[in-house]
């Protein structure tokens, strides 16, 4: 999954990027951090950037693209990445397209967090006023004046990217003024709709991004859960065997009772038949004797 988050300062890009990293197991690539890492590592591109930065100049787009190229080749970026702070201009977006095409990769989505600038300024003013009331120090870059300048810079340099990616059918716009969790759900639904993430696999990606301790705890819990059904199954099997034995005993007992009952019934019937026979014989005998006497 390869994503770009667009939006003016204060739109919540940083917060949403971290939530996406945790959920899908991808990495957040910040151009500033990548530049510092390349310089510290002493890579060829990093050494070039170091010279330019030391002289107070702006690092050219081709050097930034070169650093991004090296970074996305690293193992932790295999599952995907979120670009933070790049591209800022249309030429940078074109250079990124060429880079991804060269690496046989594609950009899955460009998510624009659209916000109300007046509301953003109002939020900053409220926050600054509250900090001053509490006696807290207000950062120089966290004032309505600075935000106004940053918003103007965004409109002139970065806003044209909205049209650029919209023409290429990569842009998805989400209301950034919603609550954080609502914005997160909206982004997830959009990624599902675009096919950037599969419903059954994003949970596994999030699990991979979880800390090792959490993973071990999950495995332990899963093992215990697996053992419980096994124990329950053994108990159920034992109960079934006991029930089967009891049923056999009951059948045998019923047969014995039935046999005894049949024998008793037969004996009674035999006695009755014998009695009847004796009675009939007793009745016939006197008649025969009387007839013989009469003939004499």
Which has the closest alpha carbon to 113: 267, 189, 8? 8
Annotated binding site: 10-15, 31, 36, 57-59, 85-88, 92, 134, 139, 150, 178
Marked catalytic residue, from 103, 106, 114, 139: 139
Beta-ladder partners of 172: 111
Is 13 a residue of the active site? yes
Annotated catalytic residue within 132, 149, 150, 268:
150
Binding-site sequence positions for ATP? 10-15, 134, 178
Phi, psi values for residue 82, rounded to 5°: -115, 125
38 is written with which tokens? 């390349």
| Cβ-defined contacts of 62-66 (< 8 Å, 24+) | 62/95, 64/31, 64/35, 64/92, 65/92, 65/95, 65/96, 65/99
Q: Which two tokens stand for residue 288?
A: 């025969």
Let me know if 121 is exposed, middle or buried by CB neighbors in 10 A (0-12, 13-18, 19+). Answer: middle
150 catalytically annotated:
yes
Residues linked to residue 110 through DSSP beta bridges, in sequence order: 4, 171
216 catalytic residue (yes or no): no
Binding residue numbers for AMP: 31, 36, 57-59, 85-88, 92, 139, 150
Which residue among the candidates 2, 13, 48, 71 is catalytic per the annotation?
Answer: 13
Note whether 84 and 7 are within 8 A (CB). Answer: no
> Which residues are the active-site residues?
13, 88, 127, 139, 150
């Amino acid at each position: 999954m390869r994503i770009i988050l667009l939006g003016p300062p204060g739109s919540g890009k940083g917060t949403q990027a971290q939530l996406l990293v945790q959920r899908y197991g991808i990495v957040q690539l910040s151009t500033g951090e990548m530049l510092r890492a390349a310089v510290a590592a002493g890579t060829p591109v990093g050494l070039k950037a170091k010279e330019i930065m030391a002289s107070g100049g702006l690092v050219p787009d081709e050097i930034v693209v070169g650093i991004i190229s090296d970074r996305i080749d690293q193992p932790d970026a295999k599952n995907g990445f979120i670009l933070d702070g790049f591209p800022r201009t249309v030429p940078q977006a074109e250079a990124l397209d060429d880079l991804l095409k060269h690496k046989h990769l594609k950009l899955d989505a460009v998510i624009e967090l659209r916000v109300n600038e007046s509301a953003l300024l109002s939020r900053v003013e409220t926050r600054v006023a509250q900090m001053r009331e509490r006696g807290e120090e207000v950062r120089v870059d966290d004032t309505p004046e600075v935000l106004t300048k940053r918003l103007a810079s965004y409109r002139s340099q970065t806003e044209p990217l909205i049209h650029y990616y919209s023409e290429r059918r990569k842009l998805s716009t989400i209301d950034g003024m919603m609550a954080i969790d609502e914005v997160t759900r909206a982004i997830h639904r959009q990624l599902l709709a675009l096919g950037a993430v599969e419903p059954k696999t994003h949970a596994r990606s999030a699990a991979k991004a979880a800390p090792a301790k959490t993973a071990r705890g999950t495995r332990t819990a899963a093992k215990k859960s697996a053992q419980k059904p096994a124990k329950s199954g053994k108990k159920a099997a034992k109960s079934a065997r006991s029930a089967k034995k009891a049923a056999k005993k009951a059948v045998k007992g019923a047969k014995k009772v039935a046999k005894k009952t049949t024998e008793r019934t037969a004996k009674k019937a035999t006695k009755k038949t014998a009695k009847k026979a004796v009675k009939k014989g007793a009745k016939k005998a006197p008649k025969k004797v009387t007839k013989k006497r009469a003939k004499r």
